[in-house]
Structure 1
Amino acid sequence: MATEEQARRLVDVLATELTSRSGAVLRHDRYYRGKHPLRFASDEFRKYCADRYEGFSDNWVQPVADSPVERLTVTGVQAPGQVKADADLWEVWQRNGLDADSQLGFLGAGNAARAFVLVWGDPDDEDTPCVTFEDASSAIVQYEPGSRRRRRAALKMWQDGYSDFATLYLPDEVWKFERPLSAGDKKSPQMAEADAVMDSWTPRETGSEPNPQPNPMGVVPMVELPNRPLLASEPVSDVAGVIAMQDAINLLWALLFNNADFASLMQRVVTGAEIPKLPILDANGQKVGEKPIDLKKFVTDRILWLENPDAKVDSWPAAQLDAYTKVIEVCVGHIAAQTRTPQHYLVGKMANLSGDALIAAETGLVKRVEEKQLWFGQALREVFQLICLARGEDAKGKALAAGSVLWKDPQSRNIAQLTDSLLKLKQIGFPFEWLALRFGLTPTEVAVLMDMRAHEAEQDPVAAILGASGGAPPGPVPPVPPDPAPADAGVP
């Protein structure tokens, strides 16, 4: 067990690391929301045009981040040796609203390179632990040296009012701390250091609850979901590599808009004539001088008088803006190739593609989703283990270490081709329940479907037998005609 001083020092270290990560997390979040600064522009262009295009962004970061998440759907968890998904654990998943929250967690992991899941028992409902997805800006896990899986400690930190709050999770206990919010950079370094000493973490008042309190689960109850992990480095965000090209696209649009303002219309030019002038008259109506006429009047009235016979009128052609749009399309194509996002997700142009061509176009995205299923599934398997530990089902949790998380098929399929392939698999002996899962139903929906089939079999067993054998579909059985009488019937 840790002493208060050891726990406070560990919280300081983890909070500092969490703060150092927060810069990249917040930057990626801003880009996902479309809040992009104008970059890669010259100082002169930025000086005159940055305010004009402030708030504009042609946001390609969002579809890149969203495209794999829409195909990441957990449908259950299955222990080794079992043929069906675990109904009790799925009920805990559903009661915690994780159908929706898991999507938020997967999106957060893609944007910030990681997300976290926290599991803790509910004293009001021992069978349904609390399971929450946590953002990378508020949670962090410390691993044992040399390991990417064995967790030594975890910290969850947040702000409320004028205080920072932190909860430190250790394998055998949980500490809760708080401290006043820092005044930031408004004070001198010496005064800031003095405030840091006075405003250090102190144990939080928890009422009748002990602080620290024991951790009955015996392990750190927070799991990290890494996005694109590397052997010797930090996980990689899906949007980190898109930001540079996103900035380039925004600059190209700013240049296009700027040219659209000044050069997208044909310009008229007059040569060989002086600028028209208006006479200045005194009180008696006598001309006492001249002043240039406001050329805007000619633009408004669309009329110009030329008295000089040598004057000529010519024009400058309008600027061709498609040069910018062609480069933008190339940039978007690079984003699609680098992130394995189908071009029809980004460009929005659909030709008359066949089903096979569409599947081929989405192969990169499907592989990307399957990679996420692999890494996220490994983490979620540990989450289900924690749920078992919180429920007091240690043996079941240990067995789930070799289990598997079930996912919805990420591939888009032609329904006619899928049905035809399943029918062929049925004919060579594949069981109906497996085919229903392959069709895309969740384990819960398959269980309901099997109950319906059993009910139909009770109502019409003959049709059920014929349907199960691959013969005629279930339905009324036609009457069997009597055998014809022999030719010598009735002859003595």
Structure 2
Amino acid sequence: MATYEQALELVDLLTSELIRRRGEIDRNNDYYQGKQRLKFASPEFAKFHGDRYRDFSDNWVQVVADSPVERMTVTGFQASGEETADEELWECWQVNGLDADSQMGFLGSINSARSYMLVWGDPDDPDMPVVTFEDASQCIIAYEPGSRRRRLAALKSWQDGNQEFATLYLPDEVWKFARPLSQQTKSPQLADVDEAMGLWLPPGEQRRRRTWEPREMRTEPNPQPNPMGLVSMVELPNKPMLVEEPISDVSGVTSMQDAINLLWAQLFTASDYASFPQRVILGAERPVIPKLNSAGEIVGTQAVDLDKFQVDRVAWITGKDARIAEWQAANLTMYTEVMEVAVGHLAAQTRTPQHYLIGKMANLAEGTLLAAEVGLVKRVQEKQLWSGQGLREGARLIALAKGQTAKARALRSGRVLWADAESRSHAQMADALLKLKDIGFPFQWLALRYGLTPTEIADVVALREKEAEMDPMAAVGRMMAPGAPGAGPDSDGGEDQDDEAAA
């Protein structure tokens, strides 16, 4: 049990670390949404064209981030020692809308290097825990020193209106705090600087606004006990490292994205200024016309407006040395070729198929497309492995929240069931499953391989049984089965029994 002072110190420390992480998280989210500030190769280009292309971005970050998420679909959970997927866990998954929210959780993990899964009991429905996916900008977990799995504490912090809230999750209890927002236009660090210098609030008010206060809860105590005995939040890392922090897929794409945006800006500039042949007049004076006063007298000369020549496409050229030269139009394909190379590098670095990025497709064989997507499939399978550990622990927490300790123990070594990460046609999939069936694989395993959820498999099995009952040939087969009433002479109830009865 933590004291109030210990809980308050934990909240302050975890909040500080969470604020440190938010800078990169916000930057990656901006790049994903296309809010990318153009980076310039020279100060001169920025001076003349900075405002012109300020809001432009050719957003490849979103494609790189979305491509694995669309293939990460959870189809069920299976505890150790069980032959089929757990129907109760899948019901909880669907009731909480996690078949959709999990996609947001996986995307958040790819963008922000991690996302979180939070499990807690519902006081209105003790048999159905509340499960949510949480963003990395609002959550953080403290682990035991030297461990990447033993969770000591977790914090969720968010803002609502003019209040900032924090919930501290410990293995044996949960604390809830709140405090007013000091100044919404400043970061907490700068607000602390102003507070330390005494610039904007009296000392008493400064202390009041800085300190977290316990939230007033109407229907539950604060702190309240944690019946699960574990920190009820788990982390879904993107690319975990042995020592360093997990790595976001977006962080490695932003530099190439900046280069591609700059190339586009330079192409637009060249298209504006040099996409047509330019003609220049050499060896001639600039044409002039007389300048008249109000009385119509010539008082001088003035240069002819060259814009009129450009519109009328007529020029009056004088002088024996006058001649016309021509500048060829700029070769704009050099920019597009460089951009294709840059996008190719981006595809290789992120293992994103080039036909996702380049957009050029021909009449390619299906096997060729599958071979082109091998890198993406492996990337998805790696993410399923990393996220699967957190999801499996989350399933364990769901069982603990329902008081099912035996199932929670079995789920420690259970597994998460995923839809196939490889894109195949229905004909290919059906052919592969038929061959597996001929080998001897059972129907339910084949249905899971096909991508059906446990609920759908149960429905299909029930329909198969119903069809079998309605099939007249199947009914005849059941009647002729050994031991069935009215079976033939070769059955257990045949002529031998009749002879014994007659004797």
Q: TM-score, normalised by structure 1?
A: 0.91
CA drift of 1:463 comes to 5.3
Tell me which amino acid in the other structure corresponds to 2:58: D
- Matched residue SS, 1:315: strand
Query: Residues 264 and 220 (structure 1 numbering): CA distance in 2 closer, same or farther, change over 3 Å?
Result: same
1:265 equivalent in alignment to 2:272: no
**Per-residue CA distance 1:54-102 (angstroms, 9 max, x = gap):** 1100111100000000000001101122221111111111011101100
> Equivalent residues in 2 for 1:86-235 (5 A)?
86-183=86-183, 184=186, 185=190, 187=194, 189-191=196-198, 197-198=207-208, 199-235=210-246
Gaps of 5+ in 2: 478-503
> Could you tell me how far apart the structure 2 residues matched to 1:463 and 1:361 are?
46
- Matched residue SS, 1:205: coil
CA drift of 1:396 comes to 1.2
> Could you tell me how far apart the structure 1 residues matched to 2:421 and 2:439 are?
25
Which is worse superposed, 453-462 or 67-76?
A: 453-462
**Per-residue CA distance 1:380-407 (angstroms, 9 max, x = gap):** 0111111111111121111111111100
Percent identity (aligned): 62
How many residues align? The count is 466
CA drift of 1:439 comes to 2.5
> Equivalent residues in 2 for 1:60-459 (5 A)?
60-183=60-183, 184=186, 185=190, 187=194, 189-191=196-198, 197-198=207-208, 199-459=210-470
Contact 1:18 1:139 in 2 (8 A): yes
- Matched residue SS, 1:402: coil
> Could you tell me how far apart the structure 2 residues matched to 1:424 and 1:210 are?
59
Tell me which amino acid in the other structure corresponds to 2:446: L
Alignment partner, residue 471 of structure 1: none
Alignment partner, residue 485 of structure 2: none
Tell me which amino acid in the other structure corresponds to 1:384: A
Contact 2:108 2:136 in 1 (8 A): yes
> Equivalent residues in 2 for 1:6-21 (5 A)?
6-21=6-21
Tell me which amino acid in the other structure corresponds to 1:354: A
Alignment partner, residue 499 of structure 2: none
Tell me which amino acid in the other structure corresponds to 2:348: A
> Could you tell me how far apart the structure 2 residues matched to 1:40 and 1:304 are?
39
CA drift of 1:435 comes to 2.2
- Matched residue SS, 2:416: strand
Q: TM-score, normalised by structure 2?
A: 0.89
Tell me which amino acid in the other structure corresponds to 1:140: I
Contact 1:456 1:464 in 2 (8 A): no
Q: CA RMSD in A?
A: 1.8
Contact 1:156 1:167 in 2 (8 A): yes
Tell me which amino acid in the other structure corresponds to 1:453: R
Gaps of 5+ in 1: 467-492
CA drift of 1:309 comes to 4.6
Tell me which amino acid in the other structure corresponds to 2:95: R
Contact 2:285 2:318 in 1 (8 A): no
Contact 2:419 2:449 in 1 (8 A): no
- Matched residue SS, 1:132: strand
> Could you tell me how far apart the structure 2 residues matched to 1:70 and 1:219 are?
32
Tell me which amino acid in the other structure corresponds to 1:291: Q
Contact 1:172 1:218 in 2 (8 A): yes
- Matched residue SS, 2:130: strand
Tell me which amino acid in the other structure corresponds to 1:247: D
> Could you tell me how far apart the structure 2 residues matched to 1:121 and 1:188 are?
39
> Could you tell me how far apart the structure 2 residues matched to 1:191 and 1:49 are?
43
Query: Residues 262 and 83 (structure 1 numbering): CA distance in 2 closer, same or farther, change over 3 Å?
Result: same
